[in-house]
Copies of this chain bind each other. A is one copy, B any other.
């Protein structure tokens, strides 16, 4: 099975998700900048979600660079990831329109948590298919970054519900920033010719 259609399909879904969110920003009726103010929280949550979906696309892109073949389970693990990502526009809209109230912020975290989990499952399946000595395994290591992110989301959900939803938002932003720093683990491995050979096997 070639990976090209899986990539094309994922690109299509992610491209739609990242642009569909903009439809949540309803054009205001007023004609001055003041009429844009109610949209500001929606806009801020849009930026955050744009970055998150961008991170997923970016990592998806990197991860499949070192993948040669895909099989049934990987297709479904990928669809599972896309399912959780597809809920991001909904929770983004709910969080933004309600000015970052506790429960919408917590639900946003739940979707981030499940997306992260789905990504992790996908990565594990790909590694299992490639073997413990694969480039992917070496690049992702034990997935510390992924695990810390998911723990952070879980903490943020609790904070949103029982303490302060703005602190939870700050955690989401912080995790996004950590991922924004380019993840060079895979790039480094690809450029290292020794590991490259391992990948082409």
The reply to whether B76 and A9 form a contact with Cβ atoms under 8 Å apart is no
- Residue of B8, B15, B28, B104 near A94 (CB, 8 A) is B28
Instruction: Determine the chain B residues whose CB is within 8 A of the CB of A104 once the complex forms.
Output: 31
The reply to whether B182 and A31 form a contact with Cβ atoms under 8 Å apart is no
Interface size on A, residues (CB 8 A): 62
The reply to whether B90 and A25 form a contact with Cβ atoms under 8 Å apart is yes
Contacts A5-B7, A11-B8, A90-B25 given; indicate if A76 touches B182 (C-beta within 8 A): yes
CB of A133 within 8 A of chain B? no
Interface residues of A, Cβ cutoff 8 Å to B: 1-2, 5-9, 11-20, 22-25, 27-29, 31-33, 36, 47, 50, 54, 57-58, 61-62, 65, 71-73, 75-76, 79, 82-83, 86-87, 89-90, 93-94, 97-98, 101, 103-104, 107, 180, 182-184, 187, 190
